[in-house]
Chain A
Amino acid sequence: MNITATLIGQSISFFLFVVFTMKYVWPPIMNALNERKKKIADGLAEAEKGHHELELAEKRSAEILREGKEKSREFIDQAQKRHDEIVEEAKDNARIEGERILIAARVEIDQERQLAKDSLRAEVSALAIAGAEQILMREVDKNAHNEVLDKISASL
């Protein structure tokens, strides 16, 4: 049993083989493994990020919802106020209109009354003259008594 060229030759060749493997076989495998690892790490980080973003979005949506609610309440308040105002205004308008109608009616009534008064006065004075004529049994000279008649007429 001795060390021979076979063993040494084999060993040298094996050494070269190991070098070859280290240079051309090992790196691609390692690359693939590292890439896989990186992909997993990235994926996990991405998932973590997504989770975080979801949380933020949830928070933001709650915020927006709250704001929206507030705004809508504000709108409702404003509308209520506006409604009250409109009702108030309408009431005022109605009152003013009513008063205006009332005044107009009164004026008309006054006018009517005046007219009635005038016509009544004319009739009464005619009646009075007729009465006086009857009493005096003679014709009253209108021209002679015009002054008296006017006075009576005016006093009615």
Chain B
Amino acid sequence: MASEGLTSTAYIKHHLTNLTFGQHADGSWGLARNAEEIKEMGFWALQLDSLGWSTFLALFFLYFFRKAATQATIGVPGGLQNFVEWIVEFVDDSVRGSFSAKNDLVAPMALTIFCWVFLMNLMDLVPVDWLPMIAQQIGHHVFGMDPHHVYFKVVATTDPNITFGMAFAVFFLMIYYSIKIKGLGGFLGELAFQPFGKWGMPVNLVLEGVSLIAKPISLSLRLFGNMYAGETIFILIAMMYGAGWGMGIFGGILQLGWAIFHILIITLQAFIFMTLTIVYMEMAHQEHH
């Protein structure tokens, strides 16, 4: 286990808690020392680890793609350019496949979402204790914190704040383009007069309203749920190492298998998030009837 004297529950809790900055109950600002303190902070709190990792990975993605873009040649591409072209081509194909309107925003957004979500998911494959332990050491020796209170979640997509943030951005764009393309009347008309015509307006409003609200929620919860569950399973497997040789070796095999399976999941989740974003944008651009 990560620290002496920790029970299994504490270990799991520790791993599933974010490094949170906010206002304590007594009015002072600082890092939360446990889950209760995070709760007390309420809405005005920042998940420093999620923000840090997502920002870092976004910069990582931007740096390499920008580099490939500036060095792009029309001749035979180099390694990086080839790789980037490969991904861009893949995303472009996906966009062409399901997005028929003309909007220069959609393909770059799809590329960003795919790469970013993929990179954030990819952090799930790093052993669950590596980075939190390093963070604990740094927190303890550099900032003089109690190592038990240094929380560090590496996988940003297991934080609903991150997935909801992305989903709401997509949702906002959806509404924006719906109104821009169809006009406010057209957008509201779609909500009110479908699918049962104007005499079924109340039913229509409920149905369409629910389906509209469900889009960002399902988009974010799908990603969050998958990654959170995957992360939890990694943590559960990690606990087996402390339970003797037999369990340890079994745990090792399980972790290997789960990690290999997870390669598929993280890619798939990134792909689904991207594809759904494209589909939602297509719906926003589509005039019904």
User: Which of B82, B126, B140 is A37 in contact with, Cβ under 8 Å?
Assistant: B82
Bound CA span A7–B132, Å? 11
Stretch at the interface among A8-16, A70-78, A99-107, A116-124: A8-16
A10→B128 contact, CB < 8 A: yes
* B68-88 interface code vs A (CB 8 A; 1 in, 0 out): 000000011101001101100
Q: Which residues of chain B have C-beta atoms less than 8 A from A37's C-beta?
A: 76-77, 82
Q: Is the interface of B mostly helix, strand, loop or mixed?
A: helix
Give B residues with C-beta under 8 Å from A.
Answer: 1-4, 75-77, 79, 82-83, 85-86, 125-130, 133, 136-137, 140, 147, 238-242, 248, 251-253, 255-256, 259-260, 263
Count, chain A residues at interface, CB 8 A:
25
Whether, in the assembled complex, A144 has its beta carbon less than 8 Å from a beta carbon of chain B, the answer is no
Q: List 15 A-B contacts (CB under 8 A).
A: A4-B2, A7-B127, A9-B238, A9-B241, A9-B255, A10-B128, A13-B256, A14-B127, A14-B255, A17-B255, A17-B256, A21-B263, A33-B83, A36-B85, A37-B76
A12→B238 contact, CB < 8 A: no
B242→A7 contact, CB < 8 A: no
User: Which of A7, A13, A44 is B252 in contact with, Cβ under 8 Å?
Assistant: A13
Chain A residues numbered 11-51 whose CB sits less than 8 Å from any CB in chain B = 11-14, 16-17, 20-21, 25, 32-33, 36-37, 40-41, 44
Whether, in the assembled complex, A1 has its beta carbon less than 8 Å from a beta carbon of chain B, the answer is yes
Known: A14-B127, A36-B86. A5 touches B76 (CB 8 A): no
Bound CA span A9–B129, Å? 11
Q: Which residues of chain B have C-beta atoms less than 8 A from A8's C-beta?
A: 241
